[in-house]
Amino acid sequence: MCLYKHEMEDRYIETHKTWNNIAQLYEDRFMSLELYNDTYKSFCNILLRADASVLEIGCGPGNITCYFLDLNPKLKILATDLSENMIDLAKSNKPEVEVQILDCKKLKTINNKFEVSFVDLPFHICQNSIAQN
């Protein structure tokens, strides 16, 4: 199915509104989801040195950010999300972490360099942008 540009923009706007509207519900339901902790722990152990710089794309309320920093408090994480409400929750859950509102399709606007980038939920949205950067 081919969508016209305005239809894609409408879907994008609707997606943004939806994540802003359900941010608190999402946090309530998934903040302490432990299903993938073994995977996240392996990721930290294999790919990250103690003070690695990490870009997290689509951080949501910061559940994975919190998990990573609980495992390794020396990580330097920039947690990003399109939703302002998700960013507010991430900042309240880990006040010391750097957060930024960011559309995952605009990764080139980030001036920093990172040793590792991490994408969980929004991978299907931004996979082309990630591959190009």
Which tens digit of pLDDT belongs to each residue from 98-116? 999 998 888 888 888 999 8
Contact 17, 47 (CB under 8 A): no
Q: Which two tokens stand for residue 81?
A: 């999300």
- Residue range 65-79: mean pLDDT, rounded: 94
Question: What domains lie within the chain, and their CATH numbers?
Answer: 5-132 (3.40.50.150)
Residues 6+ apart with CB under 8 A from 121: 58, 60
Contact 104, 131 (CB under 8 A): no
Please tell me the least confidently modeled range out of 16-30, 46-60, 74-88. Answer: 46-60
Residue 109 DSSP code: G
Cβ-count burial of 68 within 10 angstroms (0-12 exposed, 13-18 middle, 19+ buried)?
buried
